[in-house]
Every structure is written in C-alpha cells, then in structure tokens.
A and B are shown apart, each in its own frame.
Chain A
Amino acid sequence: MDLLNQYLIPHFNYWAYVILMMIGMHAMIVKNNLIKKLIGMSIFQTAIILFYVSIGVKEGADIPVLHHHAPEVAESHTPAADPHHAVDPDHYANPLPHVLMLTAIVVGVSTLGMALAISQSIYKDFDTLEENEILAKIKQGGPGIDV
C-alpha cells in the first residue's frame, strides 16, 4: 500500500505524457497529410508507453532479478532478512509495467506497419496523400471510384 500511496503523489511525468498525447492527437485529427497523421499516431502511442514506464520507475531500485550472489544490495538494506532467499519488493522496480509496454510497442509497430501499407495503397489509388485532395477525387468520381 505504501507503494501505491507513493504513486498517488502527482508527478511531472503525467504532465509530460498528457502534453505529448495531445500533440499526437492533434496531429491525428487535424493534419491533412496521411503520413503526418501516422506520425501523430506514433507520438500518441509513445506517450502512453511513457506513462506506463514512468509509473513503474522507482529511484534507487534494482532490476527485478533474484541475485543469489549480490550481497551488497541485500545486506545494506535488509539486515534482518536472509540475503540469499528473501525478496523484498521495496528494492526492486516493478517489472510488470515495462513488460506490458513491450507488448504495447509490438502492437504499436504492427499498427504503424499496417497503416503505412494502407497509405501506400491509397497513394496508388489516388496519387496523393493529402486528405482534402483524396476527398475531392472521391467527390468527382473517377475510374474505379464509385461515388
């Protein structure tokens, strides 16, 4: 619970991620060029990754791997515990948010890949990546474009 209370204290990292997210969202919605929209999308996703990573951060914590032969960390902080077997979560960074983000990064990369492939296909069909021009072409109708 102490751990959780610590998380509740507002940090600048939230502001950072919110601002990044808004930049990304702005680009996704407002930008006319499809590639710029995708750049926005990447920023948007990265902001969330940043958020997750930042909530997993703990200053002075160790990597969450059991050190059977690393006495200096264990001894200096937990004199009472048996250095070879006890695990005190206070000393380790919580690995889960970071692990989750590995998945999220994979998802983000695949989304971007899919989106780029589709943009390519759009370029082939419309000869442009500017949204207003594409919409104009759809309005006019053309070969292969049913209005």
Chain B
Amino acid sequence: MSEQLPAILLVAPLFGALLIGVASPGDPRRAFPIVLLSLSISLAATVALLTKVVSSGPVDYFLGGWAEPLGIGIQLRVDGINALILVFIALIGLLTAIFSYRGPDDGEPTDKAPLFYILYLLLCVGLLGITITGDAFNVFVLVEIASLTSYGLVAMGSSPRGTLAAFNYIIMGTIGASFYLLGVGYLYMRTGALNMAQIHSLIALPEVAASQTILVAFLLILVGVWIKMAFFPLYGWLPNAYTYCPSGASGILAPLVTKVSVYVMIRVMLSVFGAGWVFQSAGWSQTVVWLAVIAILAGSFIALAQVELKKMLSYLIVAEVGYMVGGAWLANHWGMVGAIYHILADAAMTLCLFLAANIFVKHAGGGRIDRLEGLFRRMPVVAGAFVVGALSMIGVPPTGGFFSKWYLIRGGIEAGQWPFVAALILSSLVNAVLFFRIFEVAHFGRKPADGHHHHPPHADGEPSPEQQGTIGETTGSDRKPRLTAVAPLVAAAALVLLVGIFSGPIVEIIRGALQGMPHVGAAAPLIGR
C-alpha cells in the first residue's frame, strides 16, 4: 500500500472527478461528498508520503511498472521539496473545496456546481501531477490539464469580464505551454530522453552541456514557464482572470497555479539542467535577478494604484513571483531555500487573503477597497484572518512571509545582489502601505465619527452593532458569512502562522533535499547547533 502512495494521490481526485460525472450529474448535494472524500484521500497520501520521504529519502515510482530506460515509462519522483508542495496543494485544494461548498460562486446551489467540482478535481490532479512527475513531457501534459480546467473555472463565473479574461488566459496560457513543449522538443533532439533524471545525467556530459541546442531548449522552457507563472512583463493574463473568476476558483487558482509554475522552473533548473549547468553555462543569473527586481517593484507599485481588492491582490502575486524567481536565480543556497520556502508561505498567505477577499466581496458590497468600512466590527473573525494574511505579505514575524523574506534577503546579501535586497524591503514597505490603507478603511468606516465623546452613551459606552452596521450599508447581502466559508479561512490563517512558526523543520527538509547540489547545496555542513 505505502509504495503506491504517489499513484494514489493522483488517482483519488481523478476518479473522484469521473465519479461525479457518472454518478451525480446535476446534483450538487451528492457531488460535494465525493470531492471531499477524494481530496482527503489525496491529502492523507501526501502527508504519508512526506513522512516517508523525511524518514527514508526520495521515493521513485514508475507508473505501470514501466521502468526506464525503455523510454515509455512515466516516472514519479518525490523528494523533500515536492513532498512539501504536494501537501500544500492537497491541503489548499481541500480547504477551498470546503469553501466552495455551494458551488462556484458561493451562491445557491445550481446545476453548474457538479461541473465546477469536476473541473476543480481535475485541476487538483493537474497541479499534483505537475509537481510529482519526473518526466519532462509529462509536465507539459499535466500543465495543460491544469490550464484547461483553469480556463473553464475562470469562465464559469457570472461576470462577462471573467469570460473575456478566460479567453485571454487561453491565448497566453497556450503560448506559454507551447514554448515549454518546444523546449522539451529541443531537449529531446539533443539527448533523446524525456525522463528528467536521464536528461540530467546526459547534460552532465561536457559535449552535451556545451551544445547550443541545450541552451535554446532552456531558454524556450524558461520563457514558457515564465508566462505560466505571470513573471513580469508576461503577467498580462493574470489580474483580470483572478479578479473576475468565481470565488471558489480564485481560492485555488491564486494560491497554487503560479506557485506550481515556479516550482516547475525550479525543478527544471535543478533536476533537468542541473544547478551547475544553469548557473555556469547559461550564466544569466545577474540578468534574471534584475528582471525579478523589476517584477517586484512593478507588481508592488501597480498594486498600489488599484481600487479593487482582488485586483490589488492579483498584482501582489505578480510581485511575489518576482521574489521567488529572484531567489531561485541568486545562485546560492539561501536564495534557493528562500524561494522554495516562499512557494509554501506564499501559497498559504494568498489562500488566506483570497478567501477573505471573496467573503468581503460577497458580504461587504463589491470588491472596492473603499467599501470595506467597519469590517472589523461587522465580521471580526474574517477580518482578523485577513489581517494575518496581510501581515504575512508585509513580512511581520512570526508569519511565514517574514521568514521567506528573511532567507531571501540573506541569500541576496550573500550573493551581493543589493538591488534585490532593496527591492524586497521596498516591496515590504509598499505592502505595508497597501494593507494599512485597507485596515484603516475597515477600522474607521466611511463617514468618520467626528468626535469621540459625541457618541450617544449606550449601555457601557459600546455602540450597538446595529448602529455600527449602518456605516457600511452598501452591501448586497447583509447576512453573516457561512461557517463553511469562515472555517477554511481560519484554517488558512492558522496555516500562515504555522508555516512561520515551523519554518525551522520545513527549511531543514528543503535543505536536506538540496544537499550536494552545486551552488544551491549548503556550503557548510548542515548545522544544528
């Protein structure tokens, strides 16, 4: 049983999706338990896999028992890094599934709900698959599975702008995937292999490493994944797609899709081309870090200009992608650790912020920031969770965001990449401005009370909730957010804190996986003190 874990975690949601299609077309009440069950199985499998990897090293699995080098087997490979990411994907998938208990738009159950769940589960399959597979071509197929389902999810909302955003997403997404495919083609041309480990061992040969074909392949793959991860300036598809898609979809797309693409980049750098080749033969480290600096600054400052909450958060994702790309390209140990750790931390905090934003949009009248008055009083739990996510974005300890910045900045200092360090700090400051602007609106209300002791005395001086409620009376629906929406949000906030508090063990796992790699492996032996 335990050796089948890598397959189980993929098969569970895949069969879940099929089962919904077969068993309960049109009945959301029957579809939801299937989603829950299959993702729970997946989560359990990933957790089991993580413990296995931590205790006894990387796990290899050949689908159907077709071991290499026949050239037709598909390998799944789990090391410390992607085991962690798999856990996060399954966990976030589960949390957002609970959040979208009522179907895509968090409204009354419609006949769209089962379709939504099918796409949702397939998206999970795609994301888990991208992360776990050890085959370069297989990555393309799974990326496309994830993308096709994302297009569908984005287009599923009631907003016409969402549909248009989905169209643009298709165009950009296809270009990205095609570039990746082309790059894999060049790799195959030179090495005759598709298995990542095989390609890696071939690129280690000097005559292959020097080949122009390999360089072209790397460039094409890089551009492809950059489009998929919305690396500045290739981010055009992202903001509208994440802003106008249904709430259930944004809850899984925003935290995971870009992050998984970043992981693909890191995977390609480390396991396909090898850190030694990437940082020596290609030698674009400096250039890419500069691009990352631009991405961070551009993302942050464009976010500053937004009036819509979800759009602002979307641009912050663009900035965060810059963090990770920059960190990965610092070409040293701490930069890479920071980048990988930030994949996890950023996934957690983006989940937290987007879930909260979705609740705000639904219950506080539209997504504009200036309509969020009096939120702290009207929904303290939701607003509190939002604050946790926001503090993580700003980088306040002990949230995850603080520690990722901590490692990234350390990497930047050790690499002597001062612009990157400066950009990280500046982006923290911009985030602080962004979120405190929201806190202020949420704390004060639109029409500020003009004097503190002019409030009519009420009981012990506390204005009744009804009085306060009138301040923000622009809402579409004033009823309280449901428990199924608040509980995942609280769990997400807890996750943000846990990622931070347990950053020690997490980073140890990452460092263990990087051990022995050129450039990004620890220079000194792992120290415990």
The answer to whether A44 and B161 touch across the interface, beta carbons within 8 angstroms, is: no
CB proximity of B84 to chain A, nearest CB, Å: 29
The answer to whether the Cβ of A81 comes within 8 Å of any Cβ in the partner chain is: no
The answer to whether A111 and B189 touch across the interface, beta carbons within 8 angstroms, is: no
The answer to whether the Cβ of B410 comes within 8 Å of any Cβ in the partner chain is: no
B117-151 CB mask vs A (1 if < 8 Å, else 0) is 00000000000000000000100110010011001
The answer to whether A111 and B144 touch across the interface, beta carbons within 8 angstroms, is: yes
| In the bound complex, CA of A117 to CA of B148 (Å) | 12
The answer to whether the Cβ of B75 comes within 8 Å of any Cβ in the partner chain is: no
Number of interface residues of A (CB under 8 A): 38
The answer to whether B161 and A107 touch across the interface, beta carbons within 8 angstroms, is: no
The answer to whether B178 and A114 touch across the interface, beta carbons within 8 angstroms, is: no
The answer to whether the Cβ of B174 comes within 8 Å of any Cβ in the partner chain is: yes
The answer to whether A34 and B167 touch across the interface, beta carbons within 8 angstroms, is: yes
Tell me the chain B residues, 336-375 only, with Cβ under 8 Å from chain A.
366
Given A52-B185, A55-B189, A122-B160: A8 in contact with B174 (beta carbons within 8 A)? no
Cβ-neighbour of B185 out of A3, A29, A55, A111 (below 8 A): A55
The answer to whether the Cβ of B481 comes within 8 Å of any Cβ in the partner chain is: no
Q: What residues of B have a CB within 8 angstroms of the CB of A25 in the complex?
A: 175
The answer to whether B181 and A48 touch across the interface, beta carbons within 8 angstroms, is: yes
The answer to whether B175 and A118 touch across the interface, beta carbons within 8 angstroms, is: no
Cβ-neighbour of A28 out of B137, B159, B175, B366 (below 8 A): B175
The answer to whether the Cβ of A121 comes within 8 Å of any Cβ in the partner chain is: yes
The interface of chain B, by Cβ under 8 A from chain A, is 71-72, 137, 140-141, 144, 147-148, 151-152, 155, 158-161, 163-164, 166-167, 170-171, 174-175, 177-178, 181-182, 185, 188-192, 194, 213, 366
Cβ-neighbour of A118 out of B137, B151, B366 (below 8 A): B151
The answer to whether the Cβ of A145 comes within 8 Å of any Cβ in the partner chain is: yes
Main secondary structure of the interface of A (DSSP, over half): helix
Main secondary structure of the interface of B (DSSP, over half): helix
Cβ-neighbour of A146 out of B152, B159, B163, B181 (below 8 A): B159
| In the bound complex, CA of A107 to CA of B155 (Å) | 19
Tell me the chain A residues, 113-134 only, with Cβ under 8 Å from chain B.
114-115, 117-119, 121-122, 125-126, 134
Q: What residues of A have a CB within 8 angstroms of the CB of B182 in the complex?
A: 48, 51
| In the bound complex, CA of A145 to CA of B147 (Å) | 25
Q: What residues of A have a CB within 8 angstroms of the CB of B174 in the complex?
A: 28, 41, 44-45, 111
The answer to whether A115 and B160 touch across the interface, beta carbons within 8 angstroms, is: no
The answer to whether B178 and A125 touch across the interface, beta carbons within 8 angstroms, is: no
The answer to whether B161 and A122 touch across the interface, beta carbons within 8 angstroms, is: no
| In the bound complex, CA of A95 to CA of B529 (Å) | 55
The answer to whether A107 and B170 touch across the interface, beta carbons within 8 angstroms, is: no
Given contacts A118-B151, A138-B164, A145-B159, 18 further A-B pairs with CB under 8 A are: A4-B189, A7-B189, A34-B167, A48-B178, A48-B181, A51-B182, A55-B185, A55-B188, A96-B72, A96-B194, A111-B148, A111-B174, A118-B170, A122-B167, A144-B158, A145-B161, A146-B159, A146-B366
| In the bound complex, CA of A136 to CA of B164 (Å) | 13
| In the bound complex, CA of A104 to CA of B143 (Å) | 12
Tell me the chain A residues, 69-86 only, with Cβ under 8 Å from chain B.
none
The answer to whether the Cβ of A32 comes within 8 Å of any Cβ in the partner chain is: no
CB proximity of A8 to chain B, nearest CB, Å: 7
Return the chain A residue nearest B182 by Cβ. A48
The answer to whether A125 and B144 touch across the interface, beta carbons within 8 angstroms, is: no
